Structure 1
Amino acid sequence: MTSRSTGAALALCTATALTLTAGAPAWAAVQAEEDEATVTVLHAVPGLTVDVFAGDKELLPDFAPGTLTDPLKLKAGSYDIKIFKNGEGPSGTPAVEKTVSVPAGANATLVAHLTADGRPALDAFVNDTSKVPAGKARLTVRHVAAAPAVDVRADGKVLFEGLTNPDEKKGEVAAGSVSADVVLAGTDTVAVGPADLELAEGGNTIVYAWGSAADKNLALKTQTIEGMHSAPSGVPAGETGQAAAHNQNAQIGALSLGALVALAASVALMRRRDDAG
């Protein structure tokens, strides 16, 4: 092989190595995302501004009632969550303290709220981000209020019966606008609402009934998670979990195969040039 051919081969090998390693950062990013969880925090304790800590690290200062944070990315694992009255942490006595497990890849909401009998509590809910049938929306209702069991209605029709604190109920409904209210279980006595809800196709609309019935400050808070559409033909649109990992492997495999094909073609070309010389 001539020195020119040798130089070309070395240059090609270098280019091939760079091509193969170019996929590594993307793969590492996918791995990092799989080790994280998406967490949203809702303050549903009326009349109490708080500071939220994870261990001794302050996460949310001056957290006001009725506030829902934007989604946060957290490493998967267990967190010692402490909620203090504003300005009393981290050395004081927390109003609520609980160890919360955040699984990798999960979409979760942490809710500081009142129990049915009015005591402060902290609960973690895993949000359902599975595919939603075409033309449908997912509606999730969570009872986090100091109140008895309730029924949830949409346009006057009962959708969920006998919901108690701190439970949730969910289902797929037709996408579109509805008027929702919350009534005392088995009655027509309205406890909260009505409120107009826009149930987006392929989304999960999560409604929280929070506050205190005794203090007459019951309210609704809405959280929306989008992007769970299903294609009409039955092939899911978008990728999650194993499908995304398979596609990533396929992309890296195609990248490697393309580099090897280019290398083989170049070697064959150099051999023909050497033979011709």
Structure 2
Amino acid sequence: MARPLRSLAAGLALGAAALTVAATPAGATGTGTVTVIHGVPGATVDVCANGSAAISDFTYKSQKTLSLPAGTYDLGIVPTGKPCTASNYLATASAPLAAGENVSVVAYLTTSGKPTLGLYANDLSAVPSGQGRLVLSHNANAPTVKVVAGTSTLVPSLAPGSQAAVVVPAQSYSGVNVEVASSGAAAISNATVPVTADADTIVYVVGDSSAGYSTVAQSIPLTPSASVPGSVVTGNSPVGTTHDLPLAGLAGALAVAGALFGVSLRALRRRRA
């Protein structure tokens, strides 16, 4: 185990890069897929698109997937029942959607406790047969974390708003520690998570220290392929103050890294609101 853990740690440290997704060109045709995830605790909202309510009575930890024509959408969330007007918006974002694209939009709390919308272009590239891609998305009002297995640092820095992904054989994994990056204090350890073959499993960590932390899982089927393994994704966001993180679901998501052999790293992060 020590050898692949060291290889993974080296790949994570050397391969980080940023990728900005371009806006959909005017006149684009076809449809794309948008999944909206509600990660703001204690609020029931309506999701607005171009000034009209697209999803009503949206509750915490819910998700909804929509097929929409390609184009650019002005998105916002308002308290449920309120008109979709500027004075009512809790958070807004402009979301370009290309034909055939799969995008996730996550409403969550920043490290200052304010609602925001995070936009992510999901990786639809095939993974080797019998493997799956696990994506961890840090959308909680919590500090940057790192993931350690023994003496190897697997994920040195996962900031709020960032994502990290690994491609591994489809099975359940366990056995890593998650620490607050700024202090080294242990937050969680030793949990399990199943990885589905030929699919993306995206685990969104949401919530805050007062309401508690939770996870929301999204699954995206992929076309089976014998292609080379996919990548690890990461990004940077402002770091908040240190909290204790009772994130059992986060430990399970990150535990998959313990069995990874030779993974590379790249960024697919969508521009945030």
Instruction: Please classify the TM superposition score into its range, dividing by the shorter chain length.
Output: 0.5 to 0.7
What amino acid does structure 2 have at the position aligned with 1:130?
A: S
Aligned equivalent of 2:73: 79
How far has the Cα of 1:224 moved from its partner? Answer: 1.1
Closer, same or farther in 2 for the Cα pair 1:59/1:181, shift >3 Å? farther
CA RMSD of superposed structures (Å): 2.8
- From 20, 24, 34, the counterpart of 1:39: 34
1:98 aligned residue: 93
1:1-277 to structure 2, matched below 5 A, reads 35-69=30-64, 71-91=65-85, 92-152=87-147, 159-179=154-174, 182-185=178-181, 187=184, 189-190=186-187, 196-213=192-209, 215-231=210-226
Deviation at 1:169, TM superposition (A): 1.2
Q: Is the 8 A contact 2:145 2:157 kept in 1?
A: yes
Superposed displacement of residue 50, structure 1: 0.4
* Cα pair 1:40 1:108 within 8 Å, conserved: yes
Report the CA distance shift for 1:154/1:176 in structure 2 as closer, same or farther (over 3 A): farther
SS of 2:63's partner is coil
The 8 Å contact of residues 117 and 147 in structure 1, kept in 2 or not, is answered as: no
Q: Residue 8 of structure 2 corresponds to which residue in structure 1? A: none
Shift of 1:123: 1.5
Q: What letter matches 2:128 in structure 1?
A: P
Contact 1:154 1:178 in 2 (8 A): no
| CA drift at 1:155 | 11
Provide the C-alpha distance between the structure 2 equivalents of 1:228 and 1:153, rounded to a whole number of angstroms.
Answer: 32
Does the 8 Å CA contact 1:111/1:122 hold for their aligned counterparts?
yes
Query: Which amino acid in structure 2 is aligned with residue 189 of structure 1?
Result: A
Deviation at 1:161, TM superposition (A): 2.8
Question: How far apart are the structure 1 equivalents of 2:137 and 2:56?
Answer: 25
Q: Structure 1 CA distance, aligned partners of 2:200 and 2:92?
A: 29
TM-score of the aligned structures, taking structure 1 as reference length: 0.64
Q: CA deviation at 1:85?
A: 0.9
CA distance in 2: counterparts of 1:156 and 1:190, whole angstroms:
17
Please, what TM-score do these two structures have when normalized by structure 2?
A: 0.65
Q: Which moved more, 1:178-187 or 1:100-109?
A: 178-187
Give 1:158 deviation, angstroms.
Answer: 5.8
In proportion to residue count, which structure has more helix? Answer: 1
Q: Which of the two has higher C-alpha Rg?
A: 1
Aligned length: 198
CA 1:146–1:169: 2 relative to 1, 3 Å = same
Structure 1: unaligned runs, 5 residues or longer: 1-33, 236-277
Cα contact 1:51–1:89 (8 A) shared by 2: no
Contact 2:147 2:155 (8 Å CA) reproduced: yes
**8 Å Cα contact 1:51-1:63 kept in structure 2:** yes
CA shift, 1:40, in A, is 0.5
1:144 deviates by 0.8
**In 2, are the aligned partners of 1:208 and 1:220 still within 8 Å (CA)?**
yes
Relative to 1, partners in 2 of residues 1:156 and 1:202: Cα closer, same or farther, differing over 3 Å? farther
User: Matched residues in 2 for 1:67 and 1:157: separation?
Assistant: 35
Contact kept in structure 2, 1:149 and 1:184, CA below 8 Å:
yes
Structure possessing the higher relative contact order (Cα contacts under 8 Å, 6 or more residues apart)? 2
Gaps of 5+ in 2: 1-28, 229-273
Question: Following the alignment from structure 1 to structure 2, what is the Cα–Cα distance between the partners of residues 200 and 209?
Answer: 19
Distance in 2, matches of 1:83 and 1:220, equals 20
User: In the alignment, residue 43 of structure 1 is paired with which amino acid?
Assistant: H
Residues 1:153 and 1:68: Cα distance change in structure 2 (over 3 Å): farther
The answer on whether the counterparts of 1:137 and 1:172 sit within 8 Å (CA) in structure 2 is: yes
Identity of aligned residues (%): 34
